[in-house]
A and B are shown apart, each in its own frame.
Chain A
Amino acid sequence: MEQVQTETSKMSWWNSLTARSEFTRDRVVPILRYMRRNRLIVFGLGAFMALALFVGLSFLFYEQEDSYQERQGVNGLVRAASVEQDQKPSWNPWSGYPLGTDPKGRDIYAAVVVGVPLTLRVGLLAAAIGVGVGMVLAFVAAYVGGAVDAVVRTIVDSLIPIPSLLVLVLVATSLNPGKGLTVDQLGFVIAVLAWPGPARVIRSQVLVIRERGYVEMARMSGTSALGIIFKEMMPNLAPYALASFVAAVSGSMLASIGLESLGLGPLDSPTLGSMIFWNISESSVLLGLWYWLLPPIVVLVVLFVGLFMISAGLDEVANPRLRRRV
């Protein structure tokens, strides 16, 4: 009897945990079920989560002695760039630095850990501005139509064939010659050319959605233009906006790393691209310093592949024609 009692109490506890509240039933379960089918998103998010865990734990727990025998966290170790004269760059994971030090004496592990958020920050900043501007332009063009639409379309179409990395090189060299930009300035510079792509994609979607029945319905029942845009169209545009945002983050990071590798980035902050630049300019390959070259590349590959998978997965959400193919 008592046994049964505990059994049922256990059951009720289990039930209350898994009880399908309306929210779980309508929102969470379908998403989880969809994610089981859309493996790309899961892998991409997984890669990101693993990287975030690695970075976060390192920020919390990683400590080393710098060259003055003081205990330092990740941030301090990146700044401590002083080496004793006889200390050569070396890789010896069992004593001291897990990934060795670069020729300036910086802890490579610490530099990579600090570099990941900085690099992501550039990408997110540029993509947020780019998608924001692109979205506003897309709505204005699609809504006002006529000459405005023609002008926006012409500018967007004629900007797309111009190789953006090269124009960004020009922007970066002329803004702050010789000294390099800060992390945030780099983000703004990249945002200069981050909007035409999203503007083009979102504009065509706005044109499609504008003709849908529910928008017509809202218009006939007297909803204002802004009301239609924010209440009716935005929620339905969300998957497209998200997909083009992820693509823009990846593109902006690509551009930022390209600029940094050319020596146009923040050379005093250890972003991943600056590490690549130092590797190229100090010819680490000729010296065989593989433990300096490979860590930033591995992390960048995880970042790019993760973003690529998420954006491919989101494309599938946004584009039902792709979904049928799976």
Chain B
Amino acid sequence: MPWNYIISRLAMFFVTIYIASTIVFFLPRISGQNPLEEKLLEEAARGGFLEDTQAMVEAFDEKYGFNKPVWEQYVKFMVDIVQFDLGRSIFNWPKTVNQLLAETILWTIALGLLTLIFAFIIGTLMGAILEWKRHKTFLMVLMSPILTLSAVPYYLFGLVLLLAFSFVWSIFPLFGGYSRGIAGWPDWSNWSFIGNVLWHATLPALSVVLVSLGGWAMGMRGMMVTTKGEDYMLQAEAKGLPDRVMFFRYGIRNAMLPQLTGLALQLGLIVSGLVLVEVVFSYPGVGGLLVQAIPRNDHAVIQGIVFVLALGTALATLILDLAYPLVDARIKYSQG
């Protein structure tokens, strides 16, 4: 792999991160509102005393440099971002955004990666088989509801699943990431706790997997059509290779490559789709944190979540782009 490809790809990654952090910095400042002032006023209204809120706001601004000119704040923000310091939440004071993210993001990443991998494997296999065994009608019959589902947002399907399997049939829990109120939980060395977590994760995962199957299957089917027409397939058939070998070694292996490119972009989509799925299922991930932060204008938390998720998606795209030639030896990077 030539160096200039790696360098240009890395440059792209940094431009993405730079744009993301700049957006994250400037957007909340458009409104010109001071969330701390609002919180203090709200507290004052509730508690019935209004002394010195202005002085407190000023002291806070002084301490964190919010009264300096914008460019100075921007430079400080960028320096902080490079050191991965995302500031403090106003409403969960004095927790830092990093602490809040650390509590929640593993739930989101685990759910996102698992659903992505399941959907990718099942969907790709389905698409390949669909093209390979064209005469099987039951596959076609199976495909139409799956394709219809692929046009529906995850969380709407999640709501329907929740209504059906939790409320009407009470098979799965109605909310949460694990059952609360049992002493000693969460305890990751306890098998029954892990079982409980999986039981809670089933419906959120199903709502993402079933919806995203269709896209993978259609993409794979399209690639399989082209692959089936290649000369090496004809040769494999002439050699009398068994169907299984032709399907896995010749068919899937070649047709799967463009699917891999879609993987990183899908990761971004799944992550932002998961935010709402988590809201629907009251799952303890980043989505719940975001929904708490939005009505309270907790800018630092919202900024932190957006930045971290953008960083994750960009990183995944980068890794996949760099790893691609390892998977497909035919690729040559002549120019970027």
Contacts and interface: CB of A to CB of B under 8 A. Distances in A.
Contacts of B28: 170, 173-174
Nearest to A288: B167
Interface of B: 12, 15-16, 19-20, 23-24, 27-31, 33, 35, 148, 150-153, 155-156, 159-160, 162-163, 166-167, 174-175, 222, 225, 264-265, 268-269, 271-273, 275-276, 279-280, 290-291, 294-295, 297, 299, 302-303, 305-306, 309-310, 313-314, 317
Contacts of A288: 167
Interface in A250-276: 250, 254, 257-258, 261-264, 276
A165 B278 CA distance: 15
B27 to A, nearest CB: 5
Nearest to B280: A280
B24 A170 contact: yes
A29 interface: no
Given A170-B24, A170-B28, A325-B225, A261 B155 contact: yes
A280 B279 CA distance: 8
A163 B156 contact: no
B31 to A, nearest CB: 5
Contact of B294 (A258, A262, A297): A262
A285 B294 contact: no
A304 interface: yes
Interface string A224-242: 0000000000000000000
Tell me if A's interface is mostly helix, strand, loop or mixed. helix
A254 B297 contact: no
A305 B148 contact: yes
A162 B153 CA distance: 19
A263 B276 CA distance: 11
Contacts of A171: 27
Interface stretch (A18-26, A153-161, A201-209, A211-219): A153-161
Given A167-B27, A286-B174, 19 more contacts: A154-B12, A158-B16, A162-B20, A162-B310, A162-B314, A165-B272, A166-B275, A170-B27, A170-B28, A173-B294, A174-B29, A177-B35, A178-B297, A258-B153, A261-B276, A286-B175, A301-B156, A305-B148, A308-B150
Interface of A: 154-155, 157-167, 169-171, 173-178, 250, 254, 257-258, 261-264, 276, 279-280, 285-286, 288, 290, 293-294, 297, 300-301, 304-305, 307-309, 322, 325
Given A163-B268, A304-B152, A158 B12 contact: yes
B225 to A, nearest CB: 6
A293 B159 contact: yes
Contact of A175 (B20, B31, B305, B313): B31
A195 to B, nearest CB: 14
Contact of B160 (A176, A254, A297, A307): A297
B117 to A, nearest CB: 19
B167 A161 contact: no
A285 B302 CA distance: 27
Given A158-B16, A162-B20, A169 B302 contact: yes
B306 A166 contact: yes
A178 B156 contact: no
